């Protein structure tokens, strides 16, 4: 904890500045991951391994580390757990909370009140969403249908009405599935265009680095690739790290970038390409 505290000079900042420093540290130098291995050094704690060596983990690691750092800097902080409600069901016209939405964050005492602070990189929601099984939509439909039928039965509907309701619901669900399929095709096209646009600003950078150092390894994230190249002595990577944080926010944060950050990202990439491209 003290080593990280000195690295970002956390104890010299105001509480609000400390939160900004922690967020920048975790977004620029750490990765969100559910693929974790046991600590090799039995004398080292999992948090020490997370902060000093692996620098990747899930929300519990980020929240725990942030609480310890803030407390060490003299800022009151609490560890909080719950769910991050972020998925809306058009079928049910309500928000859906799943086990994968379980989340950990931090409560920080600032200006005589507790405030929520989430130090986990914003891409975590997208990565968790990607782990869902392909048949999850079918499971959702079945769960919703069963819930509706149970409500009708409790309300006193007889069997004939129940069968009629099933037929009506079946027709409705068939229509929803067809409509969903058409919408999915449209969204796939939009998503492809959006992905091309978001990757385009970093696409030229990856082409230059590939010419200079060879291709990325299979399954290697962009951040890990850049860190590996930096460790191998590629000087061109150092100035890319600030741009990478903005790029990840643009791609994975639902709120995207504001106008100023978008312009800053474009300027950083343009300057880099002018020098190395």
pLDDT tens, 94-128? 888 888 888 999 999 998 899 999 999 877 766 66
* CA 95/CA 101 separation, integer angstroms: 12
> Within this chain, do residues 82 and 154 fall inside the same structural domain, yes or no?
no
Q: Strand 31-32 relative to strand 56-57: parallel, antiparallel, unpaired?
A: parallel
Predicted confidence (pLDDT) per residue in 180-225, tens digit: 666 656 554 444 444 444 455 677 888 888 888 888 887 777 888 8
For the stretch 108-115, contacts whose Cβ atoms lie closer than 8 Å and that sit 24 or more positions apart, written own/partner, are 108/15, 108/19, 108/70, 108/75, 108/76, 108/77, 108/78, 109/75, 109/76, 109/77, 110/15, 110/16, 110/75, 114/78
> Over 80: is that where the pLDDT of 1 sits?
no
What's the count of helices (H) and strands (E) in the chain, helices before strands? 10, 7
> Within this chain, do residues 42 and 147 fall inside the same structural domain, yes or no?
no
> Within this chain, do residues 184 and 96 fall inside the same structural domain, yes or no?
no
> Over 90: is that where the pLDDT of 78 sits?
yes
> Within this chain, do residues 111 and 150 fall inside the same structural domain, yes or no?
no
> Within this chain, do residues 185 and 107 fall inside the same structural domain, yes or no?
no
> Within this chain, do residues 44 and 150 fall inside the same structural domain, yes or no?
no
> Within this chain, do residues 168 and 112 fall inside the same structural domain, yes or no?
no
> Within this chain, do residues 122 and 143 fall inside the same structural domain, yes or no?
no
Q: Which residues are bridge partners to 103 per DSSP?
A: 82
Write down which residue in 129, 145, 169 finishes a domain: 129
Write down which residue in 111, 129, 147 finishes a domain: 129
CATH, residue 14: 3.90.260.10
| This prediction's pTM | 0.53
> Within this chain, do residues 125 and 146 fall inside the same structural domain, yes or no?
no
DSSP 104: E
Q: How many CB atoms lie within 10 A of CB 272?
A: 18
> Within this chain, do residues 119 and 150 fall inside the same structural domain, yes or no?
no
> Within this chain, do residues 114 and 165 fall inside the same structural domain, yes or no?
no
Write down which residue in 129, 151, 168 finishes a domain: 129
> Within this chain, do residues 115 and 203 fall inside the same structural domain, yes or no?
no
List the domain range (segments joined by +) for residue 44.
2-129
Number of folded domains in the chain? 2
**CB-based contacts of 127: which residues, under 8 Å, 6+ apart?**
32, 34
């Amino acid at each position: 904890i003290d080593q990280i505290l000195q690295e970002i000079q956390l104890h010299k900042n105001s509480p609000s500045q400390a939160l900004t420093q922690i967020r920048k540290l975790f977004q620029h130098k750490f990765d969100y991951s559910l693929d974790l291995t046991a600590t090799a050094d039995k004398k080292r704690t999992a948090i020490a391994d997370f902060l000093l060596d692996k620098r990747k983990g899930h929300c519990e690691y980020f929240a725990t580390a942030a609480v310890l750092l803030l407390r060490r800097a003299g800022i009151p902080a609490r560890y909080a757990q719950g769910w991050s409600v972020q998925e809306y069901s058009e079928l049910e016209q309500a928000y859906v909370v799943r086990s994968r939405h379980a989340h950990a964050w931090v409560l920080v005492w600032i200006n005589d009140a507790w405030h929520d602070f989430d130090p986990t990189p914003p891409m975590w929601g997208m990565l968790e969403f990607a782990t869902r099984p392909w048949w999850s939509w079918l499971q959702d439909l079945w769960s919703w249908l069963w819930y509706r039928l149970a409500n009708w039965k409790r309300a006193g509907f007889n069997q004939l009405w129940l069968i009629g309701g099933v037929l009506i619901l079946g027709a409705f669900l068939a229509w929803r599935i067809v409509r969903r399929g058409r919408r999915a095709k449209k969204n796939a096209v939009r998503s492809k265009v959006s992905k091309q646009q978001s990757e385009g600003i970093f696409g030229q950078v990856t082409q230059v680095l590939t010419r200079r150092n060879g291709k990325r390894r299979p399954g290697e994230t962009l951040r890990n690739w850049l860190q590996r190249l930096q460790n191998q002595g590629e000087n061109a990577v150092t100035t890319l790290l600030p741009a990478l944080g903005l790029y990840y926010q643009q791609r994975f944060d639902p709120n995207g970038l504001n106008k100023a950050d978008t312009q800053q990202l474009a300027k950083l990439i343009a300057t880099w390409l002018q020098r190395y491209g």
